[in-house]
Amino acid sequence: MNAKCVKVLAVISATTLVFALFLLFFEHMTQKQNREPSEKFLVNFVFADIAGIAVKNNLGSLALMVRDGQIICLDQPTDTKMNTSLIKSFFYRMTHIPVYDELEKVSDLDIYGLDSPIATVSVVLNSKEKVRFTLGDQAPFEKGWYVAIEGEKKIYIIDNVSAKMMQYSVDNLRLLDVLPELNAEIKLKDLEMFRLINGEKEIFFTSDPSSKSARFILMLPEKINLDWEKVTKAVFLPLLSITDYSFVSSAGVFADYGLKERGGTELFLTLKGIDTHLFFSEATNGSFFVCREGSNQIISIPEKELSILNVKISDIIGDAIYSVNPADLKSVIISGNGIDFNCNFSGIGNDLHAVLNGNLLSQEESIDFAQIISLLPKSSSIKENTSIERDPSLTIVYKLCDASEHIITIFPSSKHECAVFLDGNAIAMTYSSTVEELVYELEAYL
């Protein structure tokens, strides 16, 4: 082997070694950055050794004791059912808390919020020994919470789930009966009926019982076969994702929370043969109060969990005639049906801003407005003998950021359909109900 070959092999070997070391370093850093709780626990007790636990936090106190192998909630309100599975999960978590990390030789507890803790948990053993630990501030970047065990000089970092449970009250352990049973066993075909009444707006569809697969038919405002994939995305998955809710009241005084009022928001559901009638009212803290017909309970659900209340007909109907990415919009002019809008857009995504007829819309209003005008669903193709009225019901001029321009003109055709023209050419039919829905939503900006 000549000297040149030896030199080449040496370079290749060195490069391979450097690359291997880089991979090992990258794997180590990735594991460190995406760490899970280690096998170390803040507390880790055997159930047979525990007499009970007590929690004290900003919401009050909560005490659980073990009696004849059963977990008893000492603070259970009269005539209130408790969620036994949730109580078991809570009890287990408070006696088996995993640790992310620990800080040693800490002198100033106030830096970590432990001088005035937001929660204290005491675990009492059958031996009369008591272990008490306190919850301080949340760690930077929401990577856990600071906790200290009484009598120790260390500070531990625990996971968000354990920290949230340390802030539970007895209300968090109630058996809530407002929402229908939503779990992984629920399938799309189990959704037999959906009816949303939101002021003057109503969407009502049912499943087709004769179909072996999930098939849905819009009943109101008119009969239309729906796209099951869009029903899944717009209705079914958002319904299953409602997991963050909290108890508010069981007094049954609904008027105090704006519930069951005339013209309010109502949702009727039939899941696996079980009917549920829900009422919603907007709270002042970015959430909704919710109650169910037949129950005295009221719960609170964050607004971000309730996208299902904003579902539109165009969200669940099939193919689009015309769609535009809101990020591509420069301006739009809309006329017809009493509407005369000129709207200019700037920014993209969550930074989208719109000036409508000289008035600056809020960021949320800008995004909503752009989404309203970004999609027009197709009902059928235009036939040669289609009757079309002379005057359009709506004209929309889209001016895009790439300097292109498109004009959508919508003409009434029949009771159920309208003809849609793109740049003067007839392209398809759309549902009259979707045009009415579009006009209704635009009128909110008048």
DSSP 305-373: G-GGGG--HHHHSS-EEEE--GGGEEEEEEEETTEEEEEEEES-GGG-EEEETTEEPPHHHHHHHHHHT
Average pLDDT of the segment spanning 322-344? 90
Q: What is the Cα–Cα distance from 144 to 155, expressed in whole angstroms?
A: 12
Cis check for the bond before 392: say yes or no (omega within 30 of 0).
no
Q: Please identify which residue in the block is written with the tokens 């717009």.
A: 234
User: Which of the four pLDDT bands, split at 50, 70 and 90, describes residue 349?
Assistant: low
Determine the pLDDT at residue 56: 96
- Whole-angstrom distance, CA of residue 347 vs CA of residue 355: 12
Report CA-CA distances (Å) from 88 to 70, 83, 84, 389. 9, 9, 6, 67
Amino acid 357: pLDDT: 94
pLDDT of 25 reads 43
Closest by Cα among 170, 152, 162, 2 to 94 = 162
How many residues are given for the chain? Answer: 446
For the ranges 32-36, 60-64, 71-75, 417-421, which has the lowest average pLDDT? Answer: 32-36
Whether 41-173 shares its CATH topology with 188-310 is answered yes
Report the pLDDT averaged over residues 235-263: 90
pLDDT one-digit tens code per residue, 181-213:
887 788 898 999 999 998 878 899 999 877 666
Query: Are 285 and 209 contacting, i.e. CB atoms less than 8 angstroms apart?
Result: no
The fraction of the chain above a pLDDT of 90, given in percent, is 51
- Give the per-residue pLDDT at 35: 44
**pLDDT value, residue 124:** 97
Helix or strand holding residue 130 (H, E): strand 130-138
Query: In which band, very low, low, confident or very high, does the pLDDT at 20 lie, cut at 50, 70 and 90?
Result: very low
**Which one, of 280, 279, 265, lies nearest residue 199 by Cα?**
265
From the number of C-beta atoms within 10 Å of its C-beta (0-12, 13-18, 19+), residue 433 rates as buried
Residues in Cβ contact with 282 at an 8 Å cutoff, skipping those fewer than 6 apart? 258, 288, 289, 303
pLDDT (0 to 100) of residue 105: 66
Centroid of chain to Cα 415? 37
Kindly report the CATH class assigned to 188-310: mainly beta
Q: Cβ neighbours of residue 233 under 8 Å, at least 6 residues apart? A: 315
In angstroms, how far is CA 345 from the centroid of its own chain? 27
Q: Regarding predicted confidence, which is higher, 437 or 125?
A: 125
**pLDDT(219) > 60:** yes
CB 331 within 8 Å of CB 343:
yes
Tell me the domain boundaries of the chain: 1-34, 41-173, 188-310, 319-443
Mean local confidence (pLDDT), 30-56: 77
pTM: 0.62
Which of 137, 143, 191, 189 has the alpha carbon at shortest distance from 167? Answer: 137
Whether 107 shows a pLDDT value over 80: the answer reads no
* Domain range 41-173, CATH class: mainly beta
Quick one: pLDDT band at residue 45, thresholds 50, 70, 90?
very high
* Better-scored residue on pLDDT, 397 or 368: 397
- Give the pLDDT band (50/70/90) at residue 34: very low
Give the pLDDT band of residue 155 (cuts 50, 70, 90): very high
